[in-house]
Structure formats: structure tokens, C-alpha cells
Amino acid sequence: MAEPPLLAVRNLRVRFRMRDRMVYAVNGVSFDVERGHTLGLVGESGSGKSATLRAVAGLLPGTAELTGDVRLAGAPLEPGAILGSAGAHVATVFQDPATHLNPVQKIGDALRETLGVRRGLTGMAATAEAVGLLERVELAQARARMSCYPHQLSGGMRQRVMIALALACDPVMLLADEPTTALDVTTQRKVLVLLKRLQRETGMAMVFVSHDLAVIADVCDAAAVMYAGSIVERGPTQALLAAPAHPYSDGLIRSIPTLDPDAVVTAIGGAPPDMSAPPSGCPFAPRCPRCEPDCRVYSVRADVSPRFAACLHPLVKATA
């Protein structure tokens, strides 16, 4: 009997209750992540990337309604379970550490608290392990930084602390929600190299959310392109970037600036749909240069095959 994927997500749906309407943020998302592999979720702001990640992590607000099936190593991962024993080996790194680190708690205290909750370590053992984690994420003067507050550290240092807090959970799955967006290019590169090294050392899997295709290409084994709360294309990263099948994926790639002064950068026209009133048919149809009449009526049902494009008239055939 084949071993189940480490993370299996099926028909995930998230909607938010607003004062006078319902917002359909995630609409039937399904994907698998194997042990030691990285899946990238990429798309425009508002495409549902972070909502998908937070749904998997059980970190949605009380206004959210969640349906679907999320399994870790074959066992159901219920909403909120990431904070208990069932999710003890899942950890999250957020986009802006300044808003996720307690501003009145010293770095060392945050690490010792996490180690106490997740591993049962206390006293000198917790302190030694906390210093070791900071050294592992290459934070200079690790022992001295234990007594620092978050505001005393740079953005790159704070992100390393966030990664150390994630490692304190001894994760088999790391959920990274745009962990380098708020960093300068040089620091961003160092953090990406660090994450890849830690993944090689620990064997953990990752789901990596980003709007930056260059980052996805550098970090991820496979990529899933999201639009209007759905995965519109998925495949091995290099194959998808070299020959995108969905017009939206192709538009994202064509809109990337290059150093070539003669290169034509083409923006995607129009605007994303209002997800409080999702369109029928293909959600990209109003912006798609290849739109046909049937696109406004029918849509391709998502599946979990390694290479997939939700398009009735793809640019190329999406085959593995």
C-alpha cells in the first residue's frame, strides 16, 4: 500500500462573513505535498494564497467558514489542531515578524515558552536549546540576542527568530506565508538560502506562499498558480515557468520586468473579480485574451494530478 502524501488537501473552501455579504476566498483547492518537497502558491494579491495557508494551519478568524479535508500523514488535521498535539509537527513563518513577535517579550523568553509547550523543556535545558536554535539560523551573537526585544533587531534578524521559533516545534511541515516580502533583496536571499539548508538538514516539507515568481523558481519543486480562490495551474516549477498552459500563468510570467531594455513587459489587463459575487464559468474569462463563449459558462474542474491547468483552451497541453 502506497504511503500517503505528508500533506493532503482536498476541496478546501473558505468564506468570510462580512456585515452585508459573504466573501468566497478559497474555492475548492486541492493539492498534495510529499515529504521533503516544497510547493509554492503564487498569484496576485487577493488570489487566496494566504487564506489557503491559514486554513491549513487552523489560523482563520472567527468570521471564516471552512469546509474540506486536510490530512497530515493520513490523519485528519482539524481546524485549530496545529496548536495542539495533533499539529505538533506543523509550524508557520509569517510575512512580517514585527507584527507576530510579542513586542514586550524578550526573544529568549519567546523561545523558552515555545520549547516548553512543544517539547516540554524547561530551565537550563530550554535555554541551551534556544541558544542552539538561534545559532542554527545563523543569528550573530546568539546568546546575547536572547535578552533582546524584537524592536532591537533588524528585519532580517527578526525573521531568523521567527524561523527559530518554527524549528522549536520540530516540524515535519513548514507553512511559510511570504516570509521574505518585507526584506531587502540581499537579506531575502540569505533567508531563502537558510530555509533551503534547514530543509535539507531536517527533511521537512514546505508550502511556500509568494507573489514573486523568481522566489518560487528558486525555492519550490512544484508550483500552484492561484486566481480568484482557485488553483488554475499546477506543475513542476521549471516546467510550468518554461511552458505555462493557463493564460493567467502566462500573463504573470510576461509581466515580470527584465534587464533587457528591448524586452516587452505586458501587464494583465482588467482587475480580479469581486469574490463576494464570483463569476460563472472561468473566473479569468473577463481578462483572458483567449476567452471563447464557452469560457463564460463552463469551467475545468480541479484535480490533484502533478500537471494540471483549469483551462478549456490552454496554450499548451498540461502533461506531466
Per-residue pLDDT tens digits for 39-66: 999 999 999 999 999 999 888 988 999 9
Q: Return the amino acid letter for 257.
A: P
Position 4 confidence tier, pLDDT thresholds 50, 70, 90? confident
Mean pLDDT along residues 169-190: 89
pLDDT tens-digit map of 112-124: 999 998 889 999 9
Residue % of the chain over a pLDDT of 90: 70
Distance of CA 40 to the CA centre of its chain: 6
Compute the distance between CA of residue 126 and CA of residue 135 in angstroms, rounded to an integer.
14
Q: What is the pLDDT of residue 94?
A: 87
Q: Higher confidence at residue 87 or residue 222?
A: 222
Residue 161 has pLDDT above 70, yes or no: yes
Give the residue from 252, 238, 195 showing the smallest Cα distance to 49.
Answer: 252
Over the chain, what is the mean pLDDT?
Answer: 90
Q: What is the pLDDT of residue 205?
A: 95
Q: What is the pLDDT of residue 319?
A: 59
pLDDT tens-digit map of 6-37: 999 999 999 999 888 999 999 999 999 999 99
Q: What is the pLDDT of residue 318?
A: 62
Compute the distance between CA of residue 295 and CA of residue 276 in angstroms, rounded to an integer.
20
Mean pLDDT along residues 115-144: 94
Position 100 confidence tier, pLDDT thresholds 50, 70, 90? confident
Angle between helices 155-167 and 107-119 (to 10 degrees): 20
Q: What is the pLDDT of residue 87?
A: 46
Q: What is the pLDDT of residue 259?
A: 81
Q: What is the pLDDT of residue 137?
A: 94
Compute the distance between CA of residue 112 and CA of residue 102 in angstroms, rounded to an integer.
14
pLDDT tens-digit map of 210-242: 988 989 999 999 999 999 999 999 999 999 999
Q: What is the pLDDT of residue 2?
A: 67
Compute the distance between CA of residue 304 and CA of residue 231 in angstroms, rounded to an integer.
10
Residue pair 219/192 in contact (Cβ under 8 Å)? The answer is: yes
Mean pLDDT along residues 151-158: 93
Q: What is the 3-state secondary structure (H, E, C) of the chain?
A: CCCCCCEEEEEEEEEEECCCCEEEEEEEEEEEECCCCEEEEECCCCCCHHHHHHHHHCCCCCCEEEEEEEEECCEECCCCHHHCHHHCCEEEECCCHHHHCCCCCCHHHHHHHHHHHHHCCCHHHHHHHHHHHHHHCCCCCHHHHCCCCHHHCCHHHHHHHHHHHHHCCCCCEEEEECCCCCCCHHHHHHHHHHHHHHHHHHCCEEEEEECCHHHHHHHCCEEEEEECCEEEEEEEHHHHHHCCCCHHHHHHHHCCCCCCCCCCCCCCCCCCCCCCCCCCCCCCHHHCCCCCHHHHCCCCCCCCCCCEECCCCCCCCCCC
